[in-house]
Amino acid sequence: MIDVIEHADLQSLNTFALPVRARWLVTLSDTAQLPDIMALPQFDRQSVLWLGGGSNILFCADYPALVVRMANRGIRLVADDGVRVVVEAAAGECWHEFVQYTLAQGWSGLENLSLIPGTVGAAPVQNIGAYGVEVQSCIEAVQCFDLDERQLRWLNRDECCFAYRDSIFKHGEQGRYVIVAVRFALSRSFTPQLHYGDLAQVAAELARGQTLTASMVAQAVCHIRQQKLPDPRVLGSAGSFFKNPVVPAALVTTLLNQYPALPHYPQSDGQMKLAAGWLIDQCGLKGYQLGGAAVHERQALVLVNKNQASAADVVALARYVQGCVAQRFQVQLEPEPVWLPQTLMLAAG
């Protein structure tokens, strides 16, 4: 028997803490419930929203259809040859708790991705990344319920088409797959990935001359994140609000004449990646407030719910930031969170 809540409050189910409601809300605590959920009269394949921790979503308005909160749990060891382990986690597991669990077993690979909010099932959706590591590097396969075929199937890493903050689950096949579990290939021997920012320095300080472990790197990542990013339990946000834009090299050459300090990173296709936070900061927008929404005072890439922001406040602020950056740098910033409901986003252009 599936419990369907009408006009459900979503404020505690999105990390922006926006006061929005779902027309209907159900909680999936076991994959076996999927057929029953799909048989509900409220279920519509096109409009259903599969919700994890709500940390990469911007609800622009009430959600006018069914929301299914993914809360299935379970972690199991699938293979272990003494060097490499394969571990499977259910989609509804808390991402950070899962990372900590793997580290406690002595398995490394996910340490740089510590403290990212959300669920295991959402991690492949945007191929979460932080401190020089993307989750795709540890994913062996993703188990999905295929809504076309109405059956469970495994997609291997290649089939997931991972790219920067991107995967098949966002494009092309969007809406076809519900992720129910993810298999990770982790290592019993630790190879540190410390090339990003000040991670090497912070990790060395923590190690104090001892041999560096994956848990120490995770601790260093948590320490840096806590300094730089607002805790969504205290100050609502969706983390980085804009993707780092990838632009033609010719535009960077032009911009460098005027902004010699412009950070730019060559890409394999000849284009250049820019730092969205730097561009926003140069527009003088740190701390800028519109209604209850604001650009974070220390991290320009993060929009926050400063004072009971409405969804309209955040949308207006995001559009304002995009406009300022476009006017000054001729660069169009693309939001990282998913804007919902989709129809409203399209209408907004």
Ligand X SMILES: Cc1cc2nc3c(=O)[nH]c(=O)nc-3n(C[C@H](O)[C@H](O)[C@H](O)COP(=O)(O)OP(=O)(O)OC[C@H]3O[C@@H](n4cnc5c(N)ncnc54)[C@H](O)[C@@H]3O)c2cc1C
Residues in touch with ligand X (CB under 6 A): 15, 49-57, 70, 91, 116-119, 121-123, 125-126, 128-130, 169, 178-179, 229, 232, 237-239, 338
Least Å distance between CB 285 and ligand X? 19
The span from the CA of 53 to the CA of 303, in Å, is: 18
- Complex with ligand X: residue 132 or 266, whichever CB lies closer: 132
Q: Which of 21, 69, 165, 183 is catalytic?
A: 165
The catalytic position among 93, 111, 173, 336 is: 336
108 is catalytic: no
Nearest to residue 28, comparing CAs of 66, 75, 71?
A: 71
Can you say whether the dihedral through the CA atoms of 235, 238, 239, 241 is positive or negative? Answer: negative
What distances in angstroms separate CA 331 from CA 276, 295, 327, one per listed residue?
9, 18, 8
| Pairing label, strands 5-9, 129-130 | unpaired
User: Smallest gap, in angstroms, from Cβ of residue 166 to ligand X?
Assistant: 11
HEC string of 245-269 equals CEECHHHHHHHHHHCCCCCEEECCC
CB of 55 to ligand X, least distance (A): 3
Give min distance, CB of 278 to ligand X, in A: 17
The verdict on whether 336 is a catalytic residue reads yes
Residue in 17, 29, 240 with CA at minimum distance from that of residue 116: 240
H helices present in 69-162, as ranges: 95-104
Beta bridge partners of 295: 303
Q: DSSP state, 193?
A: -
Residue 173 a catalytic site member: no
**Catalytic residue set:** 165, 240, 336
